[in-house]
Amino acid sequence: MARLHVARYLLGSAFTGLWRNRTMTGGAIVTTAIMLITLAGFLAINDTLNQMVTALGRKSNLIAYVRDEARPTQVTAIIDDLRTRPGVGEVQFVSKEDALAIFESRFVDQRDILDVLQSNPLPASVELRLNNPAVVPELAQELQAMTAVFDDVVVPLDVVEEVIGISNLARVAGSVIIIALTGVTLFVIVNTIRIAVFARRQEIEIMKLVGATDWFVRGPFVAEGAIIGGIGAGIAAIALVVLYAQAAPVVTRIVSFLPVSTDTDFVRNLAVFTLLVGLIVGSLGSYFSVRRYLSV
């Protein structure tokens, strides 16, 4: 009963305050919504890129061709060592004979080319299947350096590296933009609450003089911030669900290789996350401005 009264008082004061100050309130809500939509957008892009990297990484191979004169014990030692490396999945030794067999099976029509040759021209090779494409460049360099053992190292690098590059760039750009937008949002919320505090300075003075607790004085303002954050996040979440429902199939159709998450779980989690961030940014922003401008 008492709690209900307090809740009604807090929300009642908060809504009165928000309405009294509706232009600022509207601006703060829109800013919050834009910030959150951007945040969610970057998270969605990031998710897509991460899935791409994983998908590519699963396929990515590194092939090191073994010199004919390399000692087999040496090669075996290297293979054993490679198996213990992080990010390295399968390591397979393909002997000269295996290579020939593969070649023959693959190019059945051109068998006669080989017949011409006296000996087997195909080198033995070590093939690596990598779990983490990020280790590719370093590993390649390392194997390349073993000139006594390996003749050449072939890396299907370009695509992987490019995707990793894009994904890193997106992450950095996203972080910068999100930090900036969060800053702007906090600034707007802090100022909205500052104006709300100013509009209520007489009420605050009396509340303090009759012995209202700090919590009671701050409460309505923190509630105001939470409401701004909550409504902004609500708008962002709705926009997100609608946009995603519209955009995901289109993107998937145009660039079919893009692994865009289309499952509803992902969108729902994103929406819930957006709501939480909105509420937290809103309440924290107002809490700090109340501390700053209310000295309670």
Minimum gap (Å) between residue 264 Cβ and other proteins: 43
**Helices 2-20/22-59 angle, 10° precision:** 100
Site track 146-185 with other proteins (rule: CB under 8 A), x = hit: ----------------------------------------
Q: How many residues does this entry show for the chain?
A: 296
Q: Note whether 32 and 233 are within 8 A (CB).
A: yes
Q: Counting contacts by CB under 8 A, is residue 47 touching other proteins?
A: no
Query: Is residue 11 helix, strand or coil?
Result: helix
- Applying CB under 8 A, does 7 fall inside the site for other proteins? no
Q: Is 5 in the site for other proteins (CB under 8 A)?
A: yes
Which one of 5-13, 91-99, 115-123, 246-254 is the stretch in contact with other proteins (CB under 8 A)?
5-13
* CA within 13 Å, CB half, 13: 21
Picking from 218, 264, 273, the residue whose alpha carbon sits closest to that of residue 245 is: 264
- Which residues from 196-235 bind other proteins, rule CB under 8 A? 202-203, 205-214, 216
Looking at beta carbons only, is 7 or 250 nearer to other proteins?
Answer: 7
Can residue 269 be called a binding residue for other proteins (CB under 8 A)?
Answer: no
Nearer to other proteins, 142 or 203 (CB): 203
Q: Which one, 55 or 199, has the nearer CB to other proteins?
A: 199
Helix axes 157-199, 136-145, angle to 10 degrees: 150
Residues β-bridged to residue 125: 65, 94
What's the DSSP call for residue 135? G
- Residue numbers of the site for other proteins (CB under 8 A)? 2, 5-6, 9, 202-203, 205-214, 216
